[in-house]
Each structure stands twice: as C-alpha cells, then as structure tokens.
Amino acid sequence: MKLLYLIALVPPEPVRGQVWALKQELHQRTSSRNAIGLSPHITLVPPTRQPEPFTAEATASLHGFAATQSAFEVRLQDFGWFTNRTLFVQVAENPALRQLQAALMGWCGQHLPTIQPEARPYTPHMTLATRDLPPALVPELQQDFAGRHYQATFPVKSFELFRHDRRQWHSLATFPLPPA
C-alpha cells in the first residue's frame, strides 16, 4: 500500500497561530475541511505516494540534505488566489527559499528518485483553503481578502516530512538547517 508524503516548512509561533486562526475562520465561514486538514506550511515537495519503506529512506536522506543547507528568513505579505479554488497567504519573493526548494528537488532526483519532479513552476505560498470552497462564497471571500493586509517574517531553521494516515497529516521528522 502506498502512503501520501509531503515535505514542507512549518512557521514557528506566533506566525503558525496567526495563520491557523485564518484557516479556522475560513472553516467556520465556509465549512471548508481542507482549510484545517494540515497546519500552516509552505510546501517544498508536493504530496507524493510512496510505499511504507519510504519513511526510513527519506528520513535518513533528508537529514543529509539539511546539513548542506543554511537557515534563512521568509516574509509573508497579504493574500492571493489560484483561480477560484485556493486562497493563500503570499510568500514574498525569496531567493533563499527558491534555492532550498530547487536544491531539494535536485537531491531527491539523486537520492530519492521515486519523488517525481513537479510539472508546474514552484510558487511558494501558505494555503488557507482549497478545493472545497463553496463557489457561491468565493466572490465574497475574494472581496474580503483583497481588502485585508497581513505581514509577518519568520526564521526558517528546519523543514519537516509529513505522512497522511487517510484522515490527517502527521509530522514524521524535523530536519534542522545549520545557521546561516
């Protein structure tokens, strides 16, 4: 049986709590279950189906990768949409984040080859709600979030490997990044 895995950056408090509150608000307003399915994060490797032995293999390999990288900062700035399906917190342009993601995909190509490269260009963001937003509420949400402002900066000192158990996501391992 193949399980679903994800590699992501998870912001520390207070940013995690602030973004979680936005996800909770959207869940209450729209009944979007996807809004609360995973804690706030920035995806580095999108969900990938892998056999159970992948957990140990990925954990060992990702520790090696993390040791080759450096900590950096991320800035969040306001909100955006992917079509009418996904509302997210925008990540300000960040060369260090793009370098980390590109290096990780290159590492996976060599050390975890069952992870397939993403066909779409990398667009870092922090999803608030996706896929199950009621279409009738989208125009109201678009107008509401176009008038809102949110800004935060946080240090990225690690990334995490998650696995889905068919009900929710669980963090399996955290990979510390050396100081810059």
- The enclosing domain of 61 has a CATH number of 3.90.1140.10
pLDDT above 90 coverage of the chain, percent: 85
**8-state DSSP, 119:** S
* Residue 166: pLDDT over 90: no
Q: How far is 177 from 169, CA to CA, in rounded Å?
A: 22
Convert the pLDDT of each residue in 69-92 to its tens digit: 999 999 999 999 999 889 999 999
Convert the pLDDT of each residue in 97-131 to its tens digit: 999 999 999 999 999 999 998 888 999 999 999 88
**Mean pLDDT (whole number) for 30-59:** 92
Structural domain for 167, as ranges: 2-176
Angle at 134 between CA 133 and CA 135, to 5 degrees: 105
pTM: 0.95
Residue type, 14: P
Query: What is the number of domains present in the chain?
Result: 1
